[in-house]
Structure 1
Amino acid sequence: MFKEKDEENNSGLSMSTSPDGKYLATTSEDAAVYVWDLRTGRAVGRLDGHTDTVWSVAFAPDGSRIVSGSADATAIIWDVDVFMHFVILQGHEADVWSVAYSPDGSKIATGSTDSTVKLWDANTGTQLHSFGDHAAHVMHVIFSPDGVYLASCADTSVIMWDVETGTKVSELEGHDGAIWCLRFAHGSDRIVTGSEDNTARVWDVQSGAELVTIHEHMSPVWSVAFSPDDSEVVSGSSECTVVASDSFSGEQLRVFSDDSESAVDVVAYSNRGDLLASGTADGVVKLWDAKIGDFLAEYRGHGDKVKSVNFMPDDGTLVSSSEDGTVRAWSVRDVLRFF
């Protein structure tokens, strides 16, 4: 278990793992960013510089730096080797809720509750573009895997931006409720969204056209993910189920369900695509066979809602974070020995 202290002020916890799987960065309401050694579970650094809750954190693709976004309206780029801030990104007028590195590490995107998105040079901290087309708080910013597009999400819509020119490419409109989650296909040509309107939808990135609407849930969709080969999407909802659907037709392929009565808040495929992890509102992490839908194992230890689940690069370890202020690493390899 990774936990710096026992105060009850860690509900804002967010996490990011380094690309090589060696380190974990976490945040909380005490305005600090913690860096952990995933092999030992010990804290190896504390990054102090923000003056309010740190909402989001992301490692650079090469693992050398970290960017964090805070309620103090700034984002800070940190040097991992010396655990000191490299540059402070200033320009937002309210909380920086979401941060992301471009796949090549040259740019950083920030999304804020001031309804703007900003794009920065990751090496100099220079602001490259500012997008103010949203009419609500920007809750998510993510780059496409090829680095060409940036998606920003606010309320019921998603806007696609050309990263180089800063121009709007398309706008995804059609959901009747707030969008809670979104993920690019690995091919960067499509994106899937999950909404409070009980649907997941697959869109064409370039045109903004809605390609598929998935009506498999009777309650809000909290989490979505593409399979590694982009042929399927999974969606998890507050009705306690995870459904895998064909990403091109929307046809239901399998349902991941047991006797749980707890909402599914997060889902993630393993890197090979043979396993699926889900995290629930009652703090349980579950492991499934992604190909046939069989339940494999559950991990208990969190005392509150699971906020994120991630497989490490070799798929042998699963890392989860929770609103109880803890991050835990679970052995997948040990479970698979019994199958």
Structure 2
Amino acid sequence: MHVGQKLRTALRGPPGRLVFKVGGGDGERFRHTRRFDGHRDGVWHVTADSLRNICASASADQTARVWSMNSGACLYTYVGHSGSVNCITFAPQSDTQCGEHMLATASGDESAHIWKVAICSQTLLSSDDDEEEKAIVDGGGLDSETMQPNVEGTRIKNAMMRLTGHTGVVIGCDWLAGGSQLITASWDRTANIYDVERGEVLNILSGHEMELNHCSAHPSQKLVVTSSKDSTFRLWDFRETIQSVAVFQGHQE
């Protein structure tokens, strides 16, 4: 299967099947409120920053996008990858609503990229407040080449940092506590931990017998989890007094 397709066949659902209401545990009802259009291929991953009312998406169309959750407008489109974008995550931030914010993306081009956007008060408006909102924020601090805002928002071409070293599809990524390090999970059966500022590989986590399919970091401790097609997941503990790995087995697939 072409890496741009990722797991398209395995994840395809029955045609016409939509879930538009979910019953909460306390009987609360939820409803569909907004649709985000713009990607030209499958969307593999989404994440949200509720403080700033923005969300981000990763797609097989080789782009990642940042959106206003209030208006549905596309604020930024990152076009620096040459393969399917499989995962996207916001860097840990302060409580400041405005300013520059870093994101990380993992891709089928065997790399992860660090890039940034400028988010200001315009993105916090609701569509009722300003239907013409376009994410036209101050890009003065951005190093990336940009174009004028349009239906794709502002296009970002260049990454702040390209993290290389994997020899297979990079399927997932996550920021470690503090935001100075990033973990990536790859189909090359390893996970890498990078120093984001220098772009250096600090640790290569090996031991899985098949491709990795996910990784996740604890928000405040030096703990990371990796999962694999080998039917196991592993907890890696990098706290100074422990330095260990635990293997969890039991799944059949």
User: Shorter-chain TM-score category?
Assistant: 0.5 to 0.7
What is the deviation of 1:252? 5.9
State how far apart, in whole Å, the 2-side matches of 1:109 and 1:183 are: 14
Q: TM-score, normalised by structure 2?
A: 0.66
Verify the 8 A CA contact 1:103 1:145 in the aligned structure 2: no
Where does residue 154 of structure 1 map in the other structure? 107
Identity rate of aligned residues, in percent?
23
Where does residue 5 of structure 2 map in the other structure? none
State how far apart, in whole Å, the 1-side matches of 2:233 and 2:40 are: 38
> How many pairs were matched up?
199
Q: How does 1:68-147 map to 2 (within 5 A)?
A: 78=33, 85=34, 88-146=35-93
**SS at structure 2 position matched to 1:176:** coil
Verify the 8 A CA contact 1:202 1:247 in the aligned structure 2: no
In the alignment, structure 1 segments of 5+ residues that lack a partner are 1-9, 14-27, 48-77, 79-84, 263-280, 282-339
Amino acid at match of 1:31: L
**SS at structure 2 position matched to 1:139:** strand
Q: TM-score, normalised by structure 1?
A: 0.51
Task: Check 1:238–1:132 CA distance in 2 against 1; reply closer, same or farther (3 A cut).
Answer: same
Q: How does 1:1-339 map to 2 (within 5 A)?
A: 30-39=17-26, 44-47=29-32, 78=33, 85=34, 88-146=35-93, 148-155=101-108, 156-164=110-118, 165=139, 167=144, 168-247=159-238, 253-258=244-249, 260=250, 262=252, 281=253
Larger RCO (CA within 8 A; separation ≥ 6): 2
State how far apart, in whole Å, the 2-side matches of 1:180 and 1:163 are: 23
Amino acid at match of 1:224: C
Q: Which runs of structure 1 show a deviation greater than 6 angstroms over 4 or more consecutive aligned residues?
A: none
Question: Pairwise CA RMSD of aligned residues?
Answer: 3.1
What is the deviation of 1:220? 1.7
State how far apart, in whole Å, the 1-side matches of 2:75 and 2:180 are: 24
Verify the 8 A CA contact 1:199 1:215 in the aligned structure 2: yes
Where does residue 336 of structure 1 map in the other structure? none
Verify the 8 A CA contact 1:120 1:129 in the aligned structure 2: yes
Verify the 8 A CA contact 1:32 1:46 in the aligned structure 2: no
What is the deviation of 1:95? 3.0
Whose strand proportion is higher, 1 or 2? 1
What is the deviation of 1:134? 1.2
What is the deviation of 1:221? 2.0
Amino acid at match of 1:131: Y
Verify the 8 A CA contact 1:149 1:163 in the aligned structure 2: yes
What is the deviation of 1:189? 1.6
